[in-house]
Every structure is written in C-alpha cells, then in structure tokens.
Structure 1
Amino acid sequence: MLTNSNLSRLIATTALLIVTGLPMSSHAETAATTTPAADLSMKRPDDKSIRQFQYHATDEELADLRRRISATKWPSQELVKDDTQGVQRETMRKLAAYWSTDYDWRRVEAKLNSLPQFVTNIDGVDIHFIHVKSKNKNALPMIVTHGWPGSIIEQLKIIDPLTDPTAHGGTEADAFDVVIPSLPGYGFSGKPTELGWEPGRIARTWAELMKRLGYTKYVAQGGDWGDAVTEQMGVQAPAGLLGIHTNMPGAVPDEIQKSLDANKPAPANLSADEKRAYGQLDFFYEHGLAYAQEMTARPQTLYGVEDSPIGLASWMLDHDAKSYQLIARVFDGHEEGLTRDDVLDNVTLYWLTNTAVSSARLYWENKLAFFAPKDVKLPVAVSAFPDELYQAPESWAKQAFPNLIYYNRHEKGGHFAAWEQPEALTSDLRAAFNSLR
C-alpha cells in the first residue's frame, strides 16, 4: 500500500521523468524591421532568410501592465512564518510596489535593441536570436540556451565577457561568437502551432540555425531546459558540434534514481558530495515539483498567470527554494547576484510577449527524464553550483559523460548561473572549451 508520502513521491517523480552579431552584409535580408512577437508564428517553409529584429512595447501595453499590478486582488497572508506555503505575500507586495512605480522596461528594451537581433524561420517556426560576433577572427562560435522561467535576459551579462575577453580579464584566445536563441514559445520566438516541439526537435533546430549562420565548428551551452536541449545536441552530434557545457547536467546514476523513487534514505556508501546531492534531489522531489507537475499535466490551465502580472511573477518566482529565497532577499533590499530589475526584466518579457502558457507547453511535450544520463559521447564540460537543484558530484559526472573534459565545483551560485554568477560561468566556459579550439 502506498502511504501519502510515497504516493506524493511517485507522482512527483513521474512528473519529472516526463518533463524537468552578424554584419548586415552577411545576411540574405538586411532591411531593419520591428516585428511584434505575436506575429512570429507564420509558417514560411521555404523562406530561409535572416531578418533583423527589434522590439518596442507600446505605451498602452506598459500602462496596462501597471494598471493590472495596481488592481491586484491579494490573497490572505500565509499562515506560517516561512515560505513552506509558497511565495510569501510580503515579498509579492514589495515586488508589486516597485514594478508598478519605479521599474523601467525601456531600459532593458534599449539594451536588447542595442544588440544584433534576428529572426529566421526553421521548421515552420520563427526563431528569434541574439548574435554577437567577436572582433577576434579566431573566436569560437557558441550557442547558449536558456531555460524556464528564464529567457534571453539570463544571458545578457555574459555576452561582453565572452565576445570581448580582453576587456574582461581574458585574452584574445578566449574569444567567442555568441548565439543566444529564444526557445520556441518563449520570448520573441514564434509560438508553435503544432505538436512535437520537444528538446530533441529544438536541438535539431539549433544545429540548423548554426549551419544557416555559416558556422562549421561550434560548441553549445545550457542549463535547465537549455541543458536538455544542449545534451540532445550532444546525443545527435550534428556536423560541426565540437562539445557541450552544462550547468545542470543529467548525471544521476540509475541506482541513485531508483533509491530516490522509493523514498529511501541515502545509501551508506556515498561520498560527502554524493550525500549532499542526494539530499538536494530528495528535497526537490518532495517539495519543489508543484510547478513542473502542473505544466507537465495541464499547461493550458494556467490562464491566471497569463492574465495577472502578479500571478505570473509569483508562479515564476516559485521555481526552486534557493532561487526564491535569493529573490526574496533582493526585494528586502539585500545585494545579491540578481537585482530587482534583473528579476522584473525577465518577468516583464514573459508578460509583454504573452508566453506564460506557450512556454509551459514544453513541459507537456518533453518525454525525457531530466536528470538521467543521455549517453552523450562528445566532449562535455560541467559547472556544478551549490544552490542548483542538485550540485552534480564529479563522480556522477564522470560516470554520465565518458568524455568529460572539464569539471568545476563552485562555492557560490544557483540555478541561474549566467544571470547570477556571470564571471564564474564565463571563466568556466573559457577553460572548458580551450582544448577544443
């Protein structure tokens, strides 16, 4: 007989198993365009052109956002003094007060529009991407993929250090060309109008994007869904892909997963690092999967977060315990790896592009076990941050990736590595891919 605890664990585990720039002259089409995100899903199967892109929210959209925040119908306060009942009301009130009065979307909009952004149609969906080329002609191309509840906002802080390393403590030999696409259904990319857009298909789309950009050799990086896509690129090993880097690897051994599924204590023979990782996974399965369960099973039901800015923000803040606690401290006035503007830049992008539900469908589409090894044979590099959903031990990484070329266990940082700890991640990427240049 299943106890309530075991039944909860079984449901949670099942949910996780089926979820968790270029110069103008080099493009076929060079006329500057401003393309609303809502118009990006038109199918043009024979059109392989690369079109310039910028985004400008209307004053009416921004005024409506502020009005909706101010008109929030607040729930009663949680009945506990911690976050065990969910995102705390006081945190959301502080977020709402700043969002509705002092927050300035135009600031990040100007930053985005200062970068080379493009759209190209691949497999019937318009794919938006940032493409910043280094001045160094020997730069290594890299495609970087965000996750949920992230976006291209996550990677903005690593663009300059990667493309202009000499201005950021590196050498010319550290230079990268950087391609940062928006996942289908996210941000400025089109919303798929047919089923089948799971990580493997996105991985094939990214390979086509790099081919379309003229790259014959490149590397790939990602965390969260970015890891799922990047590892599938590693499995598929398209021509030109030299290796991958992940900051949330699928590296949990099968025997460990079976023990977690059975809700057993950590095996006695684990090292200290492995015991800590086991504890993190055990906590996540027990307490952190609510969002994934809903989006895996019923993503279309999330009308509330599509209609309410505060509903959307609270849903996104509740991704994992450590990230939420960091963000709560930020809105209490503490200095952290993220700022209030960082957090709201990302949430506002989801709001303005109307992608709360379309992004959630990726959980429904996915059939891969998030943390299981995927049999990647290409060179793999791993950065392990302590406040990630689990900090992958080096022993597990070596077992999961037979061609592990780099591993670094960090003392600080969480789920949004590029966003929160850009210097650490940049340093890892330089070191990790040095041997593949």
Structure 2
Amino acid sequence: MRKTPFTISIDDDRLDDLHCRLRHTRWPDSLPDMDWADGTDLTFLQRLTEYWRTDFDWRAQEARLNAFPQFVAELDGVGIHLIHQRGKGPDPHPLVLTHGWPGTGFDMAGLIPLLTDPGGHGGDPADAFDVVVPSLPGYGFSERPTRPGSGPERVSGMWTRLMTGLGYPRFGTQSSDWGAAVSMWLASRFPERVSGLHVTFVPGFYRPPLGEGQPPLSAEERAFHERAAAWFEAEGGYHRLQSTKPQTPAYALTDSPAGLAAWIVEKTRGWSDCDGDVERAFTMDALLTNISIYWFTGTIGSSMRFYRENALRPNHFGPGARVRPPMGVASFPKDVMPPRSWVERVFDVTRWATMPRGGHLGVMEAPEPLAEEIRAFFRPLRGRRTS
C-alpha cells in the first residue's frame, strides 16, 4: 500500500469564487412564520451564508485541521484520505474510526486526542489507542470512486487492507451512521481481524433473520419499528432521494454553496440534541468548516451516491447468522435506536450504555463521555483474539 503525506491547501481563487457565488445567491421565497417546518429556515440560512462570506476564516480552520497527521493511501485504485495519530501509552490498541453522512473523518477531531492521549485528558495512559480515521470514498479529501459498487461492503475490505498496510493485523472499530454499516460488514466478513466493534448507531436497514424458527418480535421491538417508521415518514425524504436518484440533486448542490449549506445544515439541526436551535450544539465555524470541506472538494454528489450503493447491496443476515467479535453500543438519547434485543439477534453485545446527552452526531456533540465509553468497552479486549 502506498501512503503519502497530505496537507489541505485551498487556492485563493477558489475562496474568491465561493465569496462571489455567495454574494450573488438567488433566494427562494418562504411562507411567513414557517420556521424550519418546510425545511431549512430562510432567515437562518441567510445569516449563515453572510457569515460564511464575510466573517468565516477558512485559513484558520485549514491550519487547525492540518495540525492532524494526514495521509493519502491508495486502496483499490482510490486515494483515501486518512488521519493516523499514534497513541501515547505503554501499548496503544489500533482503532479505526469511520464517520457517516454528511461528514468526513474530521468529525472525529474532538475525539481523537481523548483516545490517543487519555493520560493528558484525565484518563489512564493504558487506555491509549493508535487512531486511524479514513474518510469514506467520495467524501471530503478522499477521491471519488470511478466505478459502481463502492458501498459499505466494499469499503469494509478496503479498511482491512488499509490497516494491514499500516501494520495492524488486528484492530478495533468505532463508528456511527454509514461508518456503522461499514464496521458491521467488516466484523461479519473479517472477524479474525476485529478485536471489538463499537457503534453509536445501528443502521435502520440492519435486518436479522425473522420468521419461522426465530423468536417473535417483542413488544419493545414492535414499538421501535413503529417509531422508526414514523420518523422515516416525516424525515426520510432525503434518504429516498439519495438512495434512488443521487445524481439529480448533485447538480444543484455542487453549483450553489447556499444550496449545499441548506441541505447539510437542515440535517445537522434535525439530528442533534439542540431542541431546534442548532447553535446550541454547533458554532457557526463548526458548521461552515464541514460545509466548506464539501464545497471545496465537490464531493456532495459522490457522498450521496453511497446511499444508492447501499440500497443495491444492503447487509441482511440469514438464519443462524452470528457476528462473533464483541459489540459495544453507546446510545445517544436524541437518536433513533433499536432495543438491545433487536441487535442481539445477530451480534454479541457485551456492553450497552445510554449516553447523558447528544443525538445522531454525538461524536461531535459529546466527545468526552463517548471517549470514556470507548475506553471502557475496549479495556477487557486488548490482547484478546477473536475467531
């Protein structure tokens, strides 16, 4: 595997082009007093984009992100961007962190130092990890796939080759959203490589074996399915579109920074533990750093295509399926999570924790309690072999 150092460096003329596009935004109308009921609130988006044009300091954020050791590794002909931070401790355990949509590996910026240097953040140095944070193909500074089939299953194989190339024959995984889909494939396909599987989300398309010979759905499981169906009916429009026709919205979102910001910030607000006020969970700078990465790399279309790839190849488990590596779950209170019994139909869940705060984007909202939970889950697994 070829791995080369990487530094973010956006040309000044691309910044000028962004500011010009923002200055000439054509705004749609909006019904009065609708707030966020119809989608992204017009008043908020105008304030966000004006801040983006006049006050947001991309160069300061670029320098902050460049403080992380970054590389590009070629895997299956695709250049994958990654952060590789060595741990400070007597025997750091390798851990690959995988993000979701609409994010990149930089979602883990607040979590990485807590895992690599626990001794420097009030923890035990014996809990240190060597952390590897790749960005999914077609996300952020990772290259776009040039052929179909680059969904979670394929990425799970890419991650095993990445960790092998970095010198880690055995490693843990931690993830949410699409990262959880990748990690579940990884643990089921390559159990001998995975010391433990930790997630903060169980994808809705996860399907254990059901029907004849299987336990009937419990009342708690039925209630979860009703709750998830109601959520999808109210909030799942983006998912249906991105799973079926991702190319169509890609034209508009790749061309309009205001449109891109509207698409991403609506999900950031709706999925976080903020009671409707996104600035309670994220600063303007945090929102715009993520949006800017998507803008400068032009990867919103390729990121959405991941939904289409998964729809063509979902991870459904047949009768008798068991995934052997131990699994830990950190459930954030504002996320839509199944009961433990639903997950245990296939996975060996050894730890299930309810987090004190946070939503679907909990890795950014509450990195400190999440880091503590990750350390606790992996503590008994260090040095253990799986088969």
Matches within 5 A, 1:51-62: 51-62=4-15
Indicate the SS of the match to 2:146. coil
Which residue of structure 1 lines up, in the alignment, with residue 379 of structure 2?
Answer: 434
Q: Could you tell me which amino acid in structure 2 is paired with residue 248 of structure 1? A: F
Cα drift, residue 84 of structure 1: 2.5
Deviations 1:189-208 (A, max 9, x none): 11111111111110000000
Q: Could you tell me which amino acid in structure 1 is paired with residue 288 of structure 2? A: L
Which residue of structure 2 lines up, in the alignment, with residue 291 of structure 1?
Answer: 238
Deviations 1:111-154 (A, max 9, x none): 22111111111111111100000122401110000111011221
Answer with 230-239 or 218-227: which moved more: 230-239
Matched, 1:111 2:36: no
Q: Could you tell me which amino acid in structure 2 is paired with residue 379 of structure 1? A: P
| Identity between Structure 1 and Structure 2 (%) | 36
Matched, 1:172 2:125: yes
Within the candidate set 267, 272, 287, 1:343 is matched to 287
Distance in 1 (alpha carbons) for counterparts of 2:75 and 2:177 = 23
Query: Under a length normalisation based on structure 1, what TM-score does the superposition of the two structures give?
Result: 0.79
Q: 1:161 to 1:255 in 2, by over 3 A?
A: closer
Distance in 1 (alpha carbons) for counterparts of 2:179 and 2:356 = 22
Matches within 5 A, 1:75-114: 75-78=28-31, 81-114=34-67
Which residue of structure 2 lines up, in the alignment, with residue 225 of structure 1?
Answer: 178
Residue correspondences, number: 374
Indicate the SS of the match to 2:136. coil
Within the candidate set 349, 358, 373, 2:302 is matched to 358
What 5-or-longer segments of structure 2 have no aligned partner? 383-387
Whether the aligned pair in 1 keeps the contact of 2:97 and 2:131 (CA below 8 Å) is: yes
Q: 1:248 to 1:97 in 2, by over 3 A?
A: same
What 5-or-longer segments of structure 1 have no aligned partner? 1-47, 259-266
Query: Under a length normalisation based on structure 2, what TM-score does the superposition of the two structures give?
Result: 0.89
Q: Could you tell me which amino acid in structure 2 is paired with residue 346 of structure 1? A: N
Whether the aligned pair in 2 keeps the contact of 1:253 and 1:396 (CA below 8 Å) is: no
Indicate the SS of the match to 1:144. strand
Q: 1:305 to 1:253 in 2, by over 3 A?
A: closer
Q: Could you tell me which amino acid in structure 1 is paired with residue 267 of structure 2? A: H
Whether the aligned pair in 1 keeps the contact of 2:89 and 2:127 (CA below 8 Å) is: no
Matches within 5 A, 1:143-154: 143-154=96-107
Matched, 1:312 2:257: no
Matches within 5 A, 1:18-29: none
Whether the aligned pair in 2 keeps the contact of 1:103 and 1:341 (CA below 8 Å) is: yes
Matches within 5 A, 1:24-43: none
Q: Could you tell me which amino acid in structure 1 is paired with residue 229 of structure 2? A: D
Distance in 1 (alpha carbons) for counterparts of 2:283 and 2:328 = 28
Answer with 73-82 or 147-156: which moved more: 73-82
Cα drift, residue 368 of structure 1: 4.5
Whether the aligned pair in 2 keeps the contact of 1:288 and 1:319 (CA below 8 Å) is: no
Q: 1:321 to 1:187 in 2, by over 3 A?
A: closer
Deviations 1:59-118 (A, max 9, x none): 111121122112111111135534221111112112112111111111221122111111
Indicate the SS of the match to 2:325. coil
Whether the aligned pair in 2 keeps the contact of 1:153 and 1:345 (CA below 8 Å) is: no
Whether the aligned pair in 2 keeps the contact of 1:245 and 1:381 (CA below 8 Å) is: yes
Distance in 2 (alpha carbons) for counterparts of 1:110 and 1:166 = 25
Distance in 2 (alpha carbons) for counterparts of 1:169 and 1:95 = 36
RMSD: 2.6
Cα drift, residue 393 of structure 1: 2.2
Distance in 2 (alpha carbons) for counterparts of 1:228 and 1:254 = 12
